[in-house]
């Protein structure tokens, strides 16, 4: 990248120098030609106007030889004074210029004899040579033409060497600045590339230097994005490890019970009826865990199907509470339902019952004495909230309660082990039905887990 950036900047500097130099030469030459032409035209007219007095034509009116000698003398003086661009010639009736030759570089075809006979000043440019011819008719009838020429030079030629030296110096500075700028601009990209490569190789602790909080340019945002990505990947790896440990434990516990009671039945020890009941219950726990894993996989793959219908959230919550009261009584807990009237929503009845059951089941794990289920209206939303009076959830963990594979930083004591997939399924199902899952501190001191769905008119 540094080489490409240096090449681009150098090319731009070089193109700018060429354009500026060529433009300056063209504009300077055009301006010099125009200025020189105006000046020598004025001078030619002034010389022609004073030509009679310069030559004392009245004294030489009847003596052409004297006139010729004075013209020759004027030519000698112009050469002696280094006025090679000044020439006075005679224009005869055939349109030929007689006398001294025209100034070097000026062609006779460039002068217009007809215009000169009509007493008009002729001027123009022949390449870089500017010329002006002004006519003057003597009292003898002789038509004299004052011709002035001058090189229309803007002085650029004399400054070409200086310009080239300045251009070389500017180009060298441009190359140096391009290399330094390229290295400085490409350094964050190289660092980001190196960090992402290390992350891809499994070094999830790799980080870029954290930019200043006031910096919000592209490189600062890139560094923050890479660091955020690395943090999330590192967190995902930890969560995955914790999840695998949790699932392994949840699988091993019922399997241990099943194997133990199966061996007892095989050895003829223990009560076969009681052993069969324990094996049945542990098999149900395994079945529930496998079902939760399959549900999460289907939700992630968008393979879940919903049969939406009109459902009364108050009635559904009441039925869910009734279903868990025997289990709560065995644990020494009570379930209270608060809700009146109806709260109609469009949802899949079975999936909504699964969501409510997961929330109540989670609350029963942490409650010390009471679980409260509240069905209420909040604006255009129907809300079902489940409160427990357990130890609650830390503020840092509240935003992540419904995350997949999430394990709280400070885990409270609970009555049984679980993989924690139920809450992740709750959020997936609620959001798929157009709602939102929420977690907060409960007024009773424990945790409040809730969801809301749009009311049906």
CATH number at residue 68: 3.30.450.160
Say if residue 72's pLDDT is above 80: no
- Are residues 152 and 6 part of one domain? yes
Please count the structural domains in the chain. 3
* Final residue before a domain boundary, out of 88, 122, 157: 157
409: Cα separation from own chain's centroid: 37
Among 252, 280, 300, the domain boundary falls at 300
**Could you tell me the pLDDT band of residue 158, with boundaries at 50, 70 and 90?**
low
Q: Which of 92-106, 152-166, 231-245 has the lowest mean pLDDT?
A: 152-166
Position 155 confidence tier, pLDDT thresholds 50, 70, 90: low
- Give the pLDDT confidence score for residue 342 in this predicted structure: 92
In this predicted structure, the answer to whether residue 26 has a pLDDT above a threshold of 60 is yes
User: What is the residue range of 245's domain?
Assistant: 218-300
For residue 418, the model assigns a pLDDT of 47
Q: 272 with 245, same domain?
A: yes
Q: Do 261 and 131 have their domain in common?
A: no
Please report where in the chains the tokens 């469009």 appear, as a residue: 346
User: Does some domain include residue 181?
Assistant: no
Structural domain contains residue 193: no
| 255 and 136 inside one domain | no
| Confidence at residue 74, expressed as pLDDT on a 0 to 100 scale | 55
| Six-digit token string for 70 | 């004075």
Q: What is the pTM of this model?
A: 0.47
State the DSSP string of 225-260.
HHHHHHHHHHHHHHHHHHHHHHHHHHHHHHHHHHHH
Residue 446 lies in a domain: yes
> Which CATH number covers residue 282?
1.10.287.130
The residue from 135, 157, 179 where one domain ends is 157
Binning pLDDT at 50, 70 and 90, where does residue 344 land?
Answer: very high
Asked whether the predicted pLDDT for residue 411 surpasses 70, the reply is no
Mean pLDDT (the chain) is 77
Checking if the pLDDT of 181 tops 50, the result is: yes
Token readout for 297 is 């996989």
User: What pLDDT does residue 436 have?
Assistant: 94
pLDDT at 242: 64
Is residue 290 located within the same domain as residue 420?
no
C-alpha span between 278 and 36 (Å, rounded)? 116
Can you give the CATH number for the domain in which 379 is found? 3.30.565.10
142 falls within a domain: yes
Q: Which of 186, 266, 261 is nearest to 4 (CA)?
A: 186
Judged against a pLDDT cut of 60, whether residue 431 lies above it is answered with yes
């Amino acid at each position: 990248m540094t080489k490409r950036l240096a090449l681009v900047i150098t090319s731009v500097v070089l193109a700018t120098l060429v354009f500026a130099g060529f433009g300056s030469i063209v504009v300077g030459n055009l301006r010099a030609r125009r200025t020189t032409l105006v000046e020598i035209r004025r001078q030619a007219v002034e010389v022609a106007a004073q030509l009679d007095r310069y030559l004392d034509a009245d004294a030489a009116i009847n003596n052409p030889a004297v006139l010729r000698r004075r013209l020759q003398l004027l030519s000698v003086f112009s050469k002696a004074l280094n006025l090679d661009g000044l020439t006075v010639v005679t224009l005869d009736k055939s349109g030929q210029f007689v006398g001294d030759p025209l100034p070097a570089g000026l062609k006779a075809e460039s002068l217009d004899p007809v215009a000169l006979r009509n007493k008009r000043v002729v001027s123009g440019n022949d390449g870089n040579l500017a010329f002006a011819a002004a006519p003057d008719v003597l009292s003898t009838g002789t038509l004299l033409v004052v011709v002035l020429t001058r090189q229309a030079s803007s002085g650029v030629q004399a400054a070409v060497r200086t310009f080239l030296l300045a251009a070389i110096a500017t180009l060298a500075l441009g190359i140096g600045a391009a290399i330094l700028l390229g290295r400085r601009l490409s350094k964050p990209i190289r660092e980001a590339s190196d960090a992402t490569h290390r992350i891809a190789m499994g070094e999830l602790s790799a980080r870029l230097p954290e930019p200043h909080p006031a910096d919000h340019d592209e490189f600062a945002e890139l560094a923050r994005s890479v660091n955020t990505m690395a943090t999330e990947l590192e967190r995902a790896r930890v969560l995955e490890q914790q999840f695998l440990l949790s699932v392994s434990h949840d699988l091993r516990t019922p399997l241990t019970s099943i194997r133990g009671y199966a061996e007892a039945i095989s050895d003829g020890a223990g009560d076969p009826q009681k052993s069969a009941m324990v094996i049945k219950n542990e098999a149900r726990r395994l079945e529930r865990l496998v079902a939760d894993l399959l549900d999460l996989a289907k939700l992630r793959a968008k393979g879940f199907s919903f049969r939406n219908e009109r459902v009364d959230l108050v009635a559904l919550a009441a039925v869910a509470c009734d279903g868990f009261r025997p289990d709560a009584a065995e644990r020494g807990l009570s379930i209270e339902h608060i809700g009146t009237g109806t709260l109609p929503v469009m949802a899949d009845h079975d999936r909504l019952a699964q969501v409510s059951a997961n929330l109540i089941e989670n609350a029963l794990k942490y409650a010390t004495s009471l679980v409260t289920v509240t069905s209420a209206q909040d604006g255009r939303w129907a809300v079902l909230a489940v409160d427990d009076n357990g130890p609650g959830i830390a503020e840092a963990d509240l935003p992540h309660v419904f995350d997949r594979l999430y394990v709280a930083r400070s885990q409270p004591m609970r009555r049984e082990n679980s993989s924690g997939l139920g809450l992740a399924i709750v959020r997936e199902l609620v959001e798929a039905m157009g709602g939102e899952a929420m977690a907060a501190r409960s007024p009773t001191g424990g945790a409040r887990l809730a969801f809301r769905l749009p009311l049906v008119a």
